[in-house]
Amino acid sequence: MPIVTPVTKLLGIRVPVVQGGMQWVGVPRLAAAVSQAGGLGILTALTQPSPDALRQAIRETQKLTSKPFGVNITLLPSINPPDYAGYAKAAVEEGVRIFETAGNNPGPLIKYFKENGCIVVHKCTTIRHAKSAERLGVDILSIDGFECAGHPGEDDIGGLVLLARAAQELKVPYLASGGIADARGFAASLALGAAGVNMGTRFMCTIESPIHQNIKDKIVASTERDTIHIFRTLHNTARVYKNKVSMEVVRIERQPGGAKFEDVKDLVAGSRGRQVYELGDPDYGIWSAGIAAGLINDIPTCEELLRRLEREVEGVVSHLASVVSVQQQCPVSKAKL
């Protein structure tokens, strides 16, 4: 049976699974494969060096699939910010109508997308930020729990409580994000009120993912204990893979007197992280991974993964239906009272 939710209806997809925007990973081959398989693939705008390069990536994706796909634009704290408006304009002009936004002060971008008839999915790590985004007019929220790869915020609230709070507070549909890689997490997310799931680490470990085979194998071999938080003392927490570089960053942060970004900037350079994916040395730089790595045991195609999720979610839901049943109680005789 198909999984029909407000997210599948809004996005025009078969299964309510979104491939999160991931730096160096959200490229045409992967985004197209996810969309072709029935989910929503996402191109990561800032993986491309310029708005014109994003145009070419969009055109390449359009050649690979006729299904809907989106573009992620993440607003980063930076002295010299990227040309966000240029990336947004290029994507809209190329016909993209679904956008995933993340980061601080998304208002201007959301306004522009809504003026151009686009659907906006905004990623949040707190309910207060989600409600602010709701007021800005977003169509779907992605609620990121503490389990997620990348930036989980500073409140350290796990998905179980965060998603239940979202059900209490939010009016628009929301996706569950962080720690989801299998049918049990998918089904649990639906039970917690989500209208779908957003998966990142799980899609890193697929045939169509552009990262080196060594890194995919490393994810398969990992457990839920193989990630670590950096930038905790800088109040910009990020969950990354636990390797020599990330452990050195944490060591520096824990020194008496703490650390400044300048003390670790060479270790955390994005160029080194990119080379991890390209060259396959998991210890060369910082790279994002969520604790969902502990649930990943294989490297399927995107088609195989989504078909499996659909089938197994149905099995989980059917099992719950057999467990939760209302039984007739025999009336108690007044004579026995």
- pLDDT at position 337 is 47
- pTM for this predicted structure: 0.94
Number of folded domains in the chain?
Answer: 2
Q: Are residues 253 and 200 in the same domain?
A: no
Q: Are residues 174 and 246 in the same domain?
A: no
Q: Are residues 43 and 11 in the same domain?
A: yes
How confident is the model over 64-84, as pLDDT tens digits?
999 999 999 999 877 789 999
How confident is the model over 198-209, as pLDDT tens digits?
999 999 999 999
Q: Are residues 161 and 254 in the same domain?
A: no
- pLDDT at position 308 is 98
> Looking at the predicted structure, is the pLDDT value of residue 268 above 50?
yes
Q: Are residues 41 and 102 in the same domain?
A: yes
The residue-averaged pLDDT of 277-291 equals 97
Q: Are residues 162 and 27 in the same domain?
A: yes
**Percent with pLDDT over 90 in the chain:** 92
> Looking at the predicted structure, is the pLDDT value of residue 335 above 70?
no
Q: Are residues 146 and 13 in the same domain?
A: yes
Confirm whether 12 is domain-assigned.
Answer: yes
The residue-averaged pLDDT of 17-38 equals 97
Mean pLDDT of the chain: 95
> Looking at the predicted structure, is the pLDDT value of residue 14 above 80?
yes
Residue 303 to residue 308: CA distance in whole angstroms: 8
CATH number of the CATH domain containing 117:
3.20.20.70
Residue span of the structural domain in which 240 resides = 227-279
> Looking at the predicted structure, is the pLDDT value of residue 336 above 70?
no
Q: Are residues 173 and 260 in the same domain?
A: no
Tokens (6 digits) for 181: 């890689």
- pLDDT at position 2 is 87
The residue-averaged pLDDT of 23-47 equals 98
The residue-averaged pLDDT of 233-245 equals 96
